[in-house]
Amino acid sequence: MLPDGIGVVIGSKILGRPLSGKVAGIEYGETLLSRCASEGRTVFFLGAKPGIAEKAAENLMVKYPGLNIVGVNDGYFKDSAPIIDKINSLSTDVLFVCLGAPAQELWMWENVKKLNIRLALGLGGSLDVFAGTVRRAPEFFVNHGLEWFYRLIKEPWRAKRMLKLPEFLILVVLRRLFCGGR
């Protein structure tokens, strides 16, 4: 699992096992794609609104010559079975599941045994950023652990979801106090 949020980084410090920093899913994803390009691995994108994954694939194949994105599917489907068949029939090595949290984690958990792939990873709204329809937070926000704040300003409907962050930190503090951080 990636520490893709400042909350996890703060939590690790409170528990006395500090992580060296946040690893943004989108950066990890992009590094992985450049490795896939150089090592000849096949990639499949699942998620986002119709047309977005195609555009993301188009942009990334220009950016990383040799990158082999063998298929895409939007994230607004009812039946997973045909999508799983498609992923398997295209000999996919790496599957990006971009359905938002926690839907993507639940989808992977439910379907991992049916997928004949090497790696699946959940990367939220990354395809929107790769496609160029959503902009990532400016560097200042990213470097100061304030990406969540930028997203809150841009997408105020996230407020309810973000209330989970203080709830998470309270649980971490309680764990530290009563279980010594284990």
Contact positions toward ligand UDP, by CB under 6 A?
47-49, 75-76, 98-101, 124-125, 127-128
Any residues with CB less than 8 A from the CB of 170 and at least 6 apart, and which?
none
Which stretches of the chain are assigned E, i.e. beta strand? 42-47, 68-73, 94-98, 119-122
Six-digit token string for 176: 């530290």
Q: Cβ 100 to ligand UDP, closest distance in Å?
A: 3
Least separation in angstroms between CB 103 and ligand UDP: 6
Radius of gyration of the chain (CA): 18
Peptide bond preceding 102 in cis form (omega within 30 of 0): yes
CB of 63 to ligand UDP, least distance (A): 19
Q: Which is nearer to ligand UDP, 66 or 76 (CB)?
A: 76
Residue 7 or 75 having the CB closest to ligand UDP: 75
If the CB atoms of residues 7 and 125 are measured against ligand UDP, the closer one turns out to be 125
